[in-house]
């Protein structure tokens, strides 16, 4: 929810209330121009430069029948 409010305001980041971490928005990543390899939550590049496979987003089919 915080991400959507932040995007509407045109901001590049927000503080995740659950973790306290600063999270970059999709807009911030698009302005960067490429995947940084940090397994970012909102990476629009499919996390192509993430080296550790355990950090990449995975589809959890358990919740879908």
Query: pLDDT tens digit string along 24-62?
Result: 988 899 999 999 999 888 899 988 999 987 887 765 556
pLDDT of residue 36: 92
Answer whether residue 43 is part of any domain: yes
Residue ranges making up the domain that contains 11: 2-50
Answer whether residue 17 is part of any domain: yes
C-beta separation of 31 from 24 below 8 A: no
Q: Is the pLDDT of residue 13 over 70?
A: yes
Closest CA to 28 of 6, 50, 13, 49: 13
Q: What share of the chain is helix, strand, coil (3-state, %, to 5)?
A: 30, 10, 60
Closest CA to 45 of 24, 61, 63: 24
* Structural domains of the chain, count: 1
Q: Rg (Cα) of the chain, in Å, rounded?
A: 13
Answer whether residue 39 is part of any domain: yes
Answer whether residue 19 is part of any domain: yes
pLDDT of residue 37: 92
Q: Is the pLDDT of residue 2 over 90?
A: no
Answer whether residue 56 is part of any domain: no
């Amino acid at each position: 929810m915080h991400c959507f409010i932040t995007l509407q305001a045109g901001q590049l980041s927000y503080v995740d209330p659950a973790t306290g971490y600063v999270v970059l928005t999709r807009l911030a990543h698009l302005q960067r121009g490429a995947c940084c390899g940090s397994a970012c939550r909102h990476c629009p590049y499919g996390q192509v430069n993430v080296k550790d496979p355990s950090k990449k987003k995975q589809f959890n089919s358990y919740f879908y029948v």
